[in-house]
Structure 1
């Protein structure tokens, strides 16, 4: 009997927003849910135990980084990622493709996120039908990552969910390139699926990725492809456009054409407004480095009513206005930080460059995202998602 299942229901017949239950060998995820990025088998600055204490259901790690350091064989010998990093809940790994192509092209990651400039060195050597050849950013060693090797590495890493290898294209490439890349990614996906089946022991499930850029006919073709492959779930990937409105259009059109019996993940998106938009179209899970990265720059996520600038999602605790503010980041927050420390203390830690600052603000931001998704689930259940959204999304200027 399978250890995996996904069930859902829509409390509001007039909305595509849905409540799901994703069962895995390492626990149940109530969806919609946020997946935190433990890129190198760690959430920067906090422990796995702290993540769970703040209500985290689900985390992901990065195949590209872990294959280079410490190596999937080391993690496999440790008993897999769960034992290696002391995480007791469900996990997902990506295929490594996004990092190969974003680091390799030097600017793809920024362009997918809407930022065009990057000074990163280019490590991509060659993309062929066989796979992606690239140089390690650690020691310059050359690697070839094929669809088969990506699945093999993810099997050694041992997460609950693994992802097919795909080429991730930026939005500045033309439709012809996007189509050619998508078709190659589909062939890679078939190879990934075949490799996965060869060693399938029901300890993992495979997600297929939807490419196609901003082009409706290509996205529809990608939907048709994944709908007819034996994937457990789907991940909406690739370039989602150069603006929020374009991203929302791509997500809406894609979700309207995906089969409904599988969980759907939206790759790399985690803004508060973006989550509400995705949920309304039936997205089940989201991931983004933003909440934890923001914390390392002194940014704390807050609801509009707790923000002196209600048009923003966060406050910047290095600002002088918090030097003598002896209140918590949010008065109604249950996180470890808000229960024990003030904005004045956090401001001091940041100014003194004490590492505890980054841990404490990260814990708050993790709790914030988990509270946000809990509120979203309750809003779906109560059929008042509009009201919930108003209390979480920053005011429009």
Structure 2
């Protein structure tokens, strides 16, 4: 992945959202250099971290000691033919991790004898099982859709939905998360020019649409362009090699987002204005934010919030992000009490944000004081409990 700018600055008061497990750790127990090199390479291609453990160290309570001393979190343990004594002695010992015994055809009998101790122990005869082993490790790198998933929907067009989504993605990066920003608004024409001054690479919806089925999330993550530490999936305004009209099926977009949830800590989606397709995406989201402009709410758009839930025009559960200065007499608290919104966050000053956006520097606005307060309110209402918020904000 190519990073076109330095990561968003992390300050001492940055909120650290609940940490998700990073790429799965794989332990390779062997003194055979060629086997160790092959397994590390295979794990790297699969997107997992591999640690080679010498046979002499794999004795007694070696695994527990390594977890406590080095912070190992092994999902799989690959044991070479020279380290079979390190394999579990019983089914109970094999329950916590995936154990795979490695060897060639000549070593098959001894591998199977050890595997007979516990039904969970697998055997990989190389090189015949190399493809299976690669697929197995790739599956380990997938988090199973555990990532936080925040969808931003606009009450109308041009209210700041893309701005809110992009700034929230930058805020997550500033808190140490791996983040992907997904432009699922078919009317956007692409958001890259607002996020970066660098050229857009041809890794976009247009190119992804030529893959069937949807690639695994870890593979999509490898090719997405980055800016300020945020991976971005958007439309390519230049068309590119796979130019296509931005009219992808909602199911395809939803499946892609689900795959990305297996490869990132946080998936932030700009779903565009409220519509049947954006509401369809909101159905699978863990958190939804309806973005509205203060002037629009004051002049009658709030009626959509009052009646929308009854007619399915807005998500069943959502937060409200109010963009722009509040007109005289506008009462945001009264509005919240009269709707089904579970919380609200306001961003009254947007002039500087608009300037940075026009310069391809939108994500830099996440460090502005008023913007940080806006984003922290969203984080508090969605990702953090009250105790977490105060413990991490004011520690």
Pair in the same fold by TM > 0.5: no
Q: TM-score, normalised by structure 2?
A: 0.32
Higher CA-based Rg: 2
Q: Which has the higher contact order (CA 8 A, sep 6+)?
A: 2
